[in-house]
Amino acid sequence: MRVLVLSDTHAPRYWKSCPQALFPHLRSADVILHAGDVCVAPVLRELESYAPVHAVLGNNDGPDVAEWGAPETLELSLAGVPVAMVHDSGQAKGREARMRRLFPGARLVVFGHSHIPWNSTVDDVRVFNPGSPTDRRRQPVGTIGLLHLEDGAVVTADVVAVTEPRAPK
């Protein structure tokens, strides 16, 4: 199963329309995960035209995102992998242990909020933040996540650049 992971798209401020670099990934995705701060539900409806979408609420999401169906946290199974999603995982220090406590049955925890990619595995639990494709903040490039899940395993988990690097100051 090919999973496209997004977070912190912050429409319409940063996501005026779907970034062109996302189209190949959208077309090849079997499912799309959005880890919050989508901000407006029309973005989720646009993503649904490509693949099923699962999303959680972020701290900047409007009421229409909740009405679309995004909860605060979400647990689901994809290709036999127990997956959990939350927007804000807290500070980096102790993150893996905190996510294992919050979601004891998960083998993959997806989060956002920081706009900073994170990809770690501790005790067979992958903790993954795709960064942001549209609001890269202190990062050199905008990023997304691409996961390959199969037979109850996370086969690959990659953070992929979707924008050009910032020019040096």
List pLDDT tens digits, range 142-167: 999 999 999 999 999 999 999 888 76
List pLDDT tens digits, range 48-89: 999 999 999 999 999 999 999 999 999 999 999 999 999 999
The three-state secondary structure class of 68 is helix
Find where tokens 């670099």 sit: 21
Q: pLDDT band at 45, cuts 50/70/90?
A: very high
The more confidently predicted of residues 67 and 136 is 67
List pLDDT tens digits, range 13-41: 777 777 888 999 999 999 999 999 999 99
**DSSP structure string for 27-55:** HH-SEEEE-S---SHHHHHHHHTTS-EEE
> For residue 62, what are its two tokens?
């409007």
Kindly indicate whether the domain formed by 2-161 is annotated with CATH number 3.60.21.10: yes
Residue 169 has pLDDT above 80, yes or no: no
